[in-house]
Structure 1
């Protein structure tokens, strides 16, 4: 029996037009004088804790120092704050009503993300979502020892919400690393969704149980009593 569903944020439940990855691309390119495309950044960095994502991109071009990573990360954070202040953030299509349906049926809804807590909460606030209405718990990368693909965020949510077995948990996300996270946490199902960063082909590389085109399609593929 499914008791908890863990949803990624950007690209899965939150539509922010890839502003995070566009901003990250610009910060990395400016720091190293590179010309990473948005597609390259999405393929490499989607779903990861953002400092780790920057380190990976810079490292793919050769030796990189901690100072370079720190400089790019600080540039990214500053630019993202400005971008988000002016951004029209909205839920992905059908997300608000579907999450409320899940909660009404007694299924715990968790939002998890490679963002830090402040950034994640700012997105939630812009959408007008509230804990106890659209979701039960927010878990962010800066609240655990290891971010994705490690299972730490899911394990923390499982502990906080009192879910007895990981087999009662579903992980849903728009990138391969979301699927890897769910598998590492031994979730009962891992599900990809094509509303965000990566294509179905890219997500498929991680071996999800299935891939959907919108969140509400979960009602057709999972044993949910809604």
Structure 2
């Protein structure tokens, strides 16, 4: 059976974009805004939750941490502003080989969609800082584009399919990310290839436990991994 992958959904921070600890630094600013001081027991517990839920929509994380909607939105606004400042100050770089991998995937006839758990304004700031707002990807999505539900829900992956029409079946979708939530999102969407990369938040064991069908050192190796997957699928027909 021909299992050609025609739609590739890629995470940004930690997968195609080097995170460099920016999420944790921006979280510290958000926590301070709500009176949670670095080093306090409350801050330590909250930071542990942030690390465990890397890849999830940030507003969802703050709803869990701070309870009521107003406090969650205040924290999220401060987080996004702090992350944006860090990006503007130059603390943003592509994972080595990421751009070349995306260009190769598209040259091979695959549609590429970049997704994030950040708000649109932050996603756009990252794309601009990297020079990736030049049409590098076919489409970019944030949770708001998928009705507000980010990872680990399958919504952004399925929205990528609906918006692009790039696959006639979910098993022709590949998902790649650096967190357990990326893996869960891909598996729940029915993606035929779910790759974890170890350039970001979670290690190989965590990625496999969450459903990764392949673990790679970097997204730079994704085009070769997909070609290998397709050759194996054809050989088993």
2:195 corresponds to which residue?
Answer: 191
Aligned to 1:166: 170
- The equivalent position to 2:124 in structure 1, one of 121, 125, 129, is 121
How many residues are paired up?
Answer: 219
Contact 1:149 1:180 survives alignment (8 Å): yes
Go from structure 1 to structure 2 and tell me whether the alpha carbon gap of 1:119 and 1:196 turns closer, same or farther (over 3 Å shift): same
What displacement does 1:179 show?
0.6
Change (3 A) 1:130 1:37: same
The CA distance in 1 between the partners of 2:95 and 2:46, in whole Å, is: 20
Alignment of 1:169-184 (within 5 A): 169-184=173-188
Q: Deviations over 1:164-202 (max 9, x none)?
A: 111110000000000111111110011100101122222
Counterpart contact for 2:101–2:223, Cα < 8 Å: no
Gaps of 5+ in 1: 59-63
Correspondence 1:43 to 2:51: yes
Change (3 A) 1:208 1:39: farther
The CA RMSD measured in Å over matched residues stands at 2.1
1:101 pairs with 100, 104, 129, which one?
A: 104
User: CA offset at residue 143 of structure 1?
Assistant: 1.0
Kept after mapping to 1: 8 A contact 2:80/2:118:
no
Q: Answer whether contact 1:22 1:38 (CA < 8 A) is retained.
A: no
Name the structure 2 match of 1:202: 206
Helix, strand or coil for the counterpart of 2:210?
Answer: coil
Query: 2:117 touches 2:142 (CA, 8 Å); kept in 1?
Result: yes
Shift of 1:97: 0.9
Query: How far 1:20 sits from its partner (Å)?
Result: 2.4
Distance verdict in 2 for CA 1:39–1:194, change over 3 Å: farther
Given the two structures, how large is their TM-score scaled by the length of structure 2?
0.84
Q: Deviations over 1:38-85 (max 9, x none)?
A: 972453231111111122334xxxxx3333323322322332232222
- Output the CA distance in 1 between the equivalents of 2:47 and 2:96: 23
Q: Which moved more, 1:180-189 or 1:157-166?
A: 157-166
Does 1:92 find its partner at 2:95? yes
CA contact (8 A) 1:7 1:171 kept: yes
Match of 2:215 among 194, 200, 211: 211
- In structure 1, how many angstroms separate the alpha carbons of the residues matched to 2:25 and 2:117? 15
